[in-house]
C-alpha cells in the first residue's frame, strides 16, 4: 500500500495507516489518494488499483471481505455496459444494515453506516477508441476506484459478529473434497458411470466391501452393533433362498411392518355389532336394540263401537 503520487501534496511525508493496511488484501498495488482519520479505528479513504475487468473487481472484493472480516451487501446497482465513462459500478453497505421492516427479537441489524462504492472506469470505448479523459490515474492504468467509509458501530472480531458472516469459498471447497473422499470409499457397484447408470459388474467386490464395512463398524463400536449383528446371523441361518432374496431386495426400504393385515378383525377400529357397522345399509334385526318398553304394556284405547263394547264387556269411548 502506497500513497498516490498524483494526489500527494508536495512536501508531505510518506503515508502510514496501520488500520487501513490491516484491512486491505495482499497481492494488490493499492494507491491511497485521500485518507481521513475519524478516530477509534474509523476512517474514510479513496483508493485506486490497476484493475481492468469486472471479474478482477469481484475477485478483489472477495479477498477484501476475507482480509477485513466484513461482509458487504449490495445497496444499489447500475446498468452494465451502458455508461459512457464507467464499465462497472456498485454501491455496497455493511451486512449489519438490513433495513428491517419489522422489529425482531433477534437480529443482526445495527443500522451500521459503513459503505463502500466501487467504480471501474473505461479504458477503451466504442470502435476501440482510447479514453480521452484528462484524469492522470486513467492514463497510468488505475481504472478501479474505491470509496471506503469504515465507520462500523459494532465489533468486527468478536464471535457474535463472525457467526453472522457468509461461508467462505475455502470452506465450501473443503466440504467438496471431503465428499470426494467419501465417494472413494463407496463400492464400485454404487458409483454411476459416464452414461448415468450403475456399473453393476463387480458385485463380488461390492459384497466384500459391505462385509468389511460391517466388520469395521463392529470393531469400532461393539456396544452398538454386537446385538444387531448377532440377531442378523441367527435369522439368516433360519431363512431359505427365497426369503434371503426378498430380504435383500427390500433391505432399507421397509421402515415399519404391521402385525396384522388391514382387513383382519384385529385391525378393525370397531368390533362387529357395535354402533359403527361394517356392512352397508340399515342394521339387521338381530343387531337392533329393543326399547325399554313393549307394546303389551301400552294402554289400549277404548273402542267407539257399541257392539264391540258389549262383546268385550268394556266401556264405550268418550265423546259420543
Residues 6+ apart with CB under 8 A from 146: 45, 46, 47, 48, 49, 116, 117, 118
Least confident of 112-116, 147-151, 221-225, 296-300: 296-300
pLDDT for position 258: 46
pLDDT value at residue 271: 47
Q: What is the pLDDT of residues 255-271, one digit of tens each?
A: 544 444 555 555 555 44
Task: Read off the pLDDT of residues 208-217 as tens digits, 9 standing for 90 and up.
Answer: 888 888 888 8
- CA nearest to 15, candidates 41, 28, 40, 34: 34
Report whether pLDDT(139) > 90: no
Query: Distance between CA 91 and CA 118 in Å, rounded?
Result: 6
Which of 109, 25, 32, 36 is CA-nearest to residue 64? 25
User: Which residue is listed with cell 454386537?
Assistant: 226
Q: Residue 4's beta-bridge partner residues?
A: none
Q: Are 272 and 287 in contact (CB under 8 A)?
A: no
Who's near 145: CB < 8 A, 6+ residues apart?
46, 47, 48, 117, 118, 119, 120, 121, 137
Under DSSP, is residue 290 helix (H, G, I), strand (E, B) or coil? coil
State the burial class of residue 177 (Cβ atoms within 10 Å of its Cβ: 0-12, 13-18, 19+). exposed
* pLDDT tens string 50-88: 988 899 999 999 999 988 888 899 999 888 765 678 888
The contacts of residue 314 (CB under 8 Å, 6+ apart) are 302, 303, 308
Which whole number is the average pLDDT over 232-240?
Answer: 89
User: Measured between alpha carbons, how far is 64 from 47 in angstroms, rounded to an integer?
Assistant: 13
pTM above 0.85, yes or no: no
Amino acid at each position: 500500500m502506497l500513497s498516490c503520487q498524483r494526489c500527494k501534496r508536495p512536501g508531505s511525508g510518506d503515508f502510514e495507516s496501520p488500520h487501513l493496511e490491516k484491512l486491505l488484501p495482499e497481492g494488490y498495488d493499492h494507491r491511497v489518494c485521500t485518507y481521513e482519520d475519524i478516530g477509534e479505528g474509523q476512517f474514510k479513504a479513496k483508493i485506486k488499483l490497476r484493475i481492468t475487468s469486472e471479474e478482477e473487481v469481484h475477485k478483489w472484493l472477495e479477498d477484501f471481505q476475507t482480509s477485513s472480516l466484513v461482509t458487504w451487501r449490495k445497496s444499489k446497482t447500475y446498468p452494465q455496459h451502458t455508461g459512457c465513462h464507467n464499465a462497472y459500478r456498485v454501491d455496497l453497505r455493511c451486512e449489519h444494515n438490513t433495513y428491517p421492516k419489522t422489529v425482531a427479537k433477534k437480529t443482526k441489524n445495527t443500522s451500521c453506516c459503513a459503505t463502500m462504492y466501487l467504480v471501474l472506469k473505461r479504458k477503451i470505448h466504442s470502435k476501440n477508441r482510447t479514453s480521452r479523459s484528462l484524469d492522470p490515474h486513467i492514463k497510468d492504468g488505475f481504472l478501479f476506484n474505491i470509496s471506503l467509509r469504515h465507520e462500523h458501530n459494532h465489533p468486527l472480531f468478536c464471535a457474535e459478529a463472525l457467526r453472522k458472516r457468509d461461508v467462505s469459498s475455502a470452506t465450501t471447497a473443503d466440504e467438496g473434497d471431503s465428499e470426494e473422499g467419501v465417494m472413494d470409499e463407496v463400492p464400485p457397484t454404487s458409483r454411476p458411470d459416464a452414461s448415468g447408470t450403475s456399473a453393476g459388474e463387480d458385485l463380488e467386490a461390492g459384497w466384500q466391501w459391505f462385509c468389511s464395512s460391517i466388520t469395521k463398524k463392529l470393531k469400532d463400536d461393539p456396544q452398538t452393533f454386537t446385538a444387531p449383528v448377532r440377531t442378523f446371523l441367527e435369522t439368516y441361518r433360519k431363512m431359505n433362498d427365497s426369503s434371503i432374496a426378498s430380504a435383500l431386495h427390500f433391505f432399507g426400504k421397509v421402515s415399519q411392518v404391521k402385525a396384522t393385515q388391514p382387513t383382519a378383525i384385529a385391525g378393525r377400529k370397531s368390533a362387529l355389532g357395535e354402533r359403527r357397522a361394517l356392512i352397508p345399509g340399515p342394521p339387521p334385526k338381530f343387531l337392533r336394540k329393543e326399547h325399554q318398553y313393549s307394546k303389551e304394556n301400552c294402554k289400549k284405547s277404548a273402542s267407539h263401537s257399541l257392539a264391540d263394547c258389549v262383546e268385550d264387556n268394556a266401556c264405550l269411548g268418550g265423546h259420543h
